[in-house]
Structure 1
Amino acid sequence: MKTNSIGLPQKETEILVNELNILLANFQIYYQNLRGMHWNIRGKSFFDLHLKFEELYNDAQLKIDMIAERILTLGGTPFHTFPDYIEHSKIQIEKNIFKDEEAINLIVNSLSELLKMERIILKQSGAIDDEGTNGMMSDFISEQEKTIWMMSAWLGKTI
């Protein structure tokens, strides 16, 4: 079996890089949605949600960089154009969200989609003993599950 310079199987790593790029594209869409909601939110929840959306987009920006750097570590090239992001997006692209419940529902739905992608990557990285990607996905999943729980609680829903 042919391996790359960090000891991972070449073919499986290329497949993993593709999945990471899809995740990267979707995180970029999630990030842009958060920025728009941060700017446009209105109503009685404005102060709380304006700050929360900023917290979430700053976190997404860090994760975007981590994903891109992991792709590079694995020998790939991260997506970096808007056409790539849009082509690979599974997350709903929204604009002009002003209402609090609509915004929170979009976050929950977006994070649910990201979790699906991350679990696929977790399974693939585990199968080839890629602990770097595995650890990153585990951390993302734990954080996002908690965020979904908190956002669902804000909506008055259970998970």
Structure 2
Amino acid sequence: MTNKLNQIGLDKQASSDLSDKLNGLLANYQIFYMNARGFHWNIKGEKFFELHAKFEDLYNDSLEKVDEIAERILTLGFTPLHNYADYSNLSKIKAAKNVSSGKEAVQAILDGYEVLLPLERELLDLAGDSNDEGTGALMSDYIREQEKLVWMYSAFLNK
């Protein structure tokens, strides 16, 4: 039975399925990160200082998550995607281009969370079914944090 388990004692097939889903999440986070970075650089208008700083926080946090997701894939015994062609092809989040309006940028962030949160919830369920506490804990933390951010960004847009 040991040959059905990976190096951390999880079922190899379940870990492969989780890694595939994690690679999908990784691709979406890479595009989300690039969008936040572009918003930081290109934002204009009356809320410039507030949003410029907020988008910097967001892209720094996203970069950390990209690293955590890639390292989790490696921990499960698989290879994280690592080129932009794969990210672009797999991501449901689309690259934003030439966005300088604060409201448009914040809406794009909210649209990104509409993609990320369901993926994270699906991964949380799969991790639970596979007894993968590491992936589950990561997703649980992301979900809790992002639900609050959705509320905050929605409040900014008076939604």
- The alignment's TM-score, normalised by the length of structure 1, stands at 0.97
CA-based RMSD of the aligned residues comes to 0.7
Alignment correspondent of 2:14: 12
Alignment correspondent of 1:144: 146
* Percent identity of equivalent pairs: 53
Alignment correspondent of 1:119: 121
Alignment correspondent of 2:98: 96
- For structure 1, which runs of at least 5 residues remain unmatched after alignment? none
Residues 44-90 of structure 1 deviation map (CA, whole Å, 9 limit, x = unaligned):
01000000000000000000000000000000101110001001010
Give, in whole Å, the separation in 1 of the partners of 2:111 and 2:133.
28
Count residues with an aligned counterpart. Answer: 157
- For structure 2, which runs of at least 5 residues remain unmatched after alignment? none
Alignment correspondent of 1:86: 88
Q: Shift of the alpha carbon at 1:92? A: 2.1
Query: What letter is aligned with 2:105?
Result: A
Query: What letter is aligned with 2:76?
Result: L
Q: Which runs of 4+ in 1 moved over 2 A?
A: none
Give, in whole Å, the separation in 2 of the partners of 1:5 and 1:94.
39
Query: What letter is aligned with 2:41?
Result: W
* Secondary structure of 2:9 counterpart: coil
Query: What letter is aligned with 1:125?
Result: A
Alignment correspondent of 2:133: 131
Alignment correspondent of 1:36: 38
Alignment correspondent of 1:62: 64
Alignment correspondent of 2:48: 46
Give, in whole Å, the separation in 2 of the partners of 1:112 and 1:141.
11
- The alignment's TM-score, normalised by the length of structure 2, stands at 0.97
Give, in whole Å, the separation in 1 of the partners of 2:105 and 2:92.
17
